[in-house]
Each structure stands twice: as C-alpha cells, then as structure tokens.
Chain A
C-alpha cells in the first residue's frame, strides 16, 4: 500500500513537472486575459492585442513584463503566473502576429526585439515636442486617456484609449528603443500616428523618448494611485427603532439626490415570504447620472450595484450598514474609479448621518 502511495506521489510530481514544462498558452490566455482583451485579442475593456501594428512594434520582453507587472492603477492587474506560463501566453499571442495582411509595408512580420540601452536626448526639448504632438491624447504628464472599454465609455470604432506613458508598469516594460520604434511607425488602426518621413527628425524623436523616460524620476502620479483605507463596512447606530430607521433612510436617500428604488428583506427570495427574517431590510437606491459615470469609468463596478444600505436590528439595537466603496475600489486597480468611490463613501455616510439625526 505504502509503495502505491509513493508511486502515486511520484506520478503526481511528474505530472506537475510536465505541466510546468509545457503550459498551455491558449488555455492560460482564455482564463487570464480573454475577459478583457477578447478571445482573439480583438479588444474590449483591454487593448487590442492582435492588432498587427501592435504585434509589430512590441517585443516579447515587453509583453512578458506587462503581464508580470500590470499597470498599477490602470485596470490591468499584476500577474502571479510563473515565467513559463507567461511565456506560453506570449507565444500564444504571437500567433496573431504572423498574419498581417492589412498592415502597411513599414511593419515587419517578424517579432521585434529591442536593445536595452537608453537613448540619449534633450528631455526639455522633448517636453515641448510632447506637449505639441502627444499630449492631446496621452495627457500633459503622460497620464493617458480616460475610461475603459465596452459601449459605455467610448465609441466602438475606437479600439484603444491612449496608454498612460507615465505608468510605472509601462516604463518598466518598454525600452527606449521600443518607444522610439512606436513613435517612428505609429500604431496603424489606432489614432497613434507615425513620425516616419514627417517633419520630426531622429533627434526630435530621441528627445521625446528622453522626456518620456524622465517620468520615472517624477514622483508616483495619480495615474498609479490605489486608495488605501481601513474598514470594509460602513456602520452607524440609529437611535430609532427598525421601522423608523428604514423610513429615515428612504427620506435621506432622496434628500441626497438619489432615487429610492425599493426595500426588501435580506432573506427575500431565499426563503418563503412568511419565513423571511424581519430584522434585516435592504434599501436600494440609485443616482443614474452617477451610475452612468461609474460605468463609463469602469464597466466592472456591478458588484456595487444598485446602491444599498441594510438596516439591521440586533439585540435590541438598530444599525445601518453598507459596503465601503472606498475599500472596494482597491480591487479594481483603476485610479479613475477612486474619486467616485471616495464620493460614494461620503454619500453613504451622509445618508446614514441624516437618517440617524
């Protein structure tokens, strides 16, 4: 019996080693990337990875580092996958790059690789050129475009939002030479124009690259911010009884510019109506303008929806409770959402305070 167990352990270990040796890139991509980037890399919440001009201007190393580090504060999370698994995903993604029928001739079908050496330029001159040529899309401080995918935030014919060039994840992943190549060749199929054969000289492009690299030395900007806050739940005691508190919350919701939607018991739908626990009531409400803004900023915010406060009676005491949006904002890795979550936390507290007066 013992021999069998030992044999089984060895077989399991061997299986594990085999699995480590040949991770399935397609499966890993489907599980980790497709939700945002599309099954065939056609974009969605994330950028279009299969776009030929993208494939032709990024190195495997850039893709690997991007998966590993993510984009702090810009939705794309850092990955805990092994190096072998990330490499398998990169290899899988490269299958799209092989066929590039609609690409202009400036793009090479081969996978590019770039030297790691820094490019020397005049960052001050680069700053002026950046302000003139790049800032309208990438922002004055390289903070990138706003919003994220799906129908809520931008027209479907625009596949990509301008990346945040000051993001620490981008700066760590992209070499100077890769940034230069992107400037020279642009990204055909996106609003990113190429500088090849235009008025900008090689030196000008080096200066812009040098300015972009300089973002590394500036303090971590708002782009990569993640809200840090304490408790996951907002709680406030009510001096009133359960029913009076429920009515107070409904009134406070309206006076704080929300529309009252409905009230239901916490266990509604879980048990027959006559068995519902009468001591916990959820009050649902919404501010549609705020909701529309939130979905445009990040369509994944559904777990907040609709806004709700639960009124609970426990041991003779009545409490109001809600999720703390500020605490939840961290899981979205989206700096743009932070301000909205902060605002929602304040509004929840304002409603509870008003209901408790």
Chain B
C-alpha cells in the first residue's frame, strides 16, 4: 500500500482512538508458541528497518528469586539515526527510547503488547513529532500484523 495512504489511515485511526477514548495499547495474540512468536517478532522488527537492541528476560529474574512465572520478555528496538536525532532535538523523549514491546506466553499462545505510539502525541504535543508518532504506529501495526501472519 502506498506509504502516504498508510500514514493517512494511521492518522485517521489515531484520531478515532483519541476521540473515543479507545484502547491506548497495541496488543495482539499470536496462536504460535512463545519461541516461534519471539523469532517472528524479531524478524518483523528487522523487516521494518529497525534493529533489536536487547531482549530483557523478565521471567529469568523472577524465577531466580523464586516467583512462578511463564515466559515474559521485553524486546527493545530502534533506528540509530532516528534515536540520535531525537536525543538532540527532542531530549524530552529520551526516557521512552529505545522503543519496546512486551512479549509473554499465555498457555500455547503468545501476547504482544506496547503503548500506541499515538499516545505519545498526547504526552508530547509538539506538532513536529506527530508525523513521527504516526509512522511508529503504522510500523508497529505492520510488525504486529507480520507476527500474526507468521506460521
């Protein structure tokens, strides 16, 4: 689909979500088990031009302390140039960088969740940032679609 049209759709969705006070989290269920979904997520992130910077093992720390937990990890990702530019021009965004997706097992399925990047437009109303948040939202939606389609 044409990039401009996708951005337009993302903008409309952002507007609708904001207007209705709708879900501010992006969340999907993959019918694949955790390892396969984790692999699909990392591939999709790369396919959309981002780099996975780290996979944080939330589950391992909890288990070591003695808490019962299923697979739970956080995947951090970003684009080097974009992060460098944001740090210089919009340092207020630094605590939200790199971007992340939480991924956890639910029986034989896997859940992926993160905040809608569009929500950041509410936090940081600078008009210059709106296009960026829209693109992030669009990319994330495509990444999640790719994970759901992966078999």
Residues in chain A within 8 A of chain B (CB atoms): 32, 34-36, 38-39, 44-45, 77-80, 149-152, 156, 232-234, 261, 264, 266-271, 277, 280, 284, 286, 288, 291-292, 295, 299-303, 305-306, 308, 310, 312, 314, 321-323, 327-328, 330-333
Contact = CB atoms under 8 A, between A and B. Distances in A.
A152 B69 contact: yes
A288 B70 CA distance: 15
Given A44-B106, A286-B61, A331-B119, A233 B95 contact: yes
A77 B23 contact: yes
A32 B84 CA distance: 34
Nearest to B54: A269
Given A149-B106, A151-B70, A331-B115, 11 more contacts: A34-B28, A38-B29, A78-B20, A79-B23, A270-B78, A292-B67, A295-B58, A300-B111, A302-B114, A306-B58, A310-B94
Contacts of B25: 300, 331-332
A318 to B, nearest CB: 12
Interface in B28-55: 28-29, 31, 51-54
A352 to B, nearest CB: 12
Interface string B62-102: 10010111101010101110011001000110111110111
B69 A35 contact: no
Contacts of A321: 94-95
Nearest to B88: A314
Contacts of B74: 302-303, 305-306
Nearest to B91: A314
Contact of B28 (A35, A295, A301, A303): A35
| Interface magnitude class on chain B | 35 or more
A121 to B, nearest CB: 34
Contacts of B98: 266, 269-270
Contact of A303 (B80, B94, B115): B115
Contact of B109 (A39, A284, A286, A303): A39
Given A80-B19, A269-B52, A302-B72, A35 B111 contact: yes
B51 A270 contact: yes
A152 B83 CA distance: 34
Nearest to B26: A35
B131 interface: no
B21 interface: yes
B113 interface: yes
B83 A267 contact: yes
Given A80-B20, A233-B92, A270-B53, A302 B100 contact: yes
Given A80-B16, A80-B17, A150-B106, A288 B84 contact: no
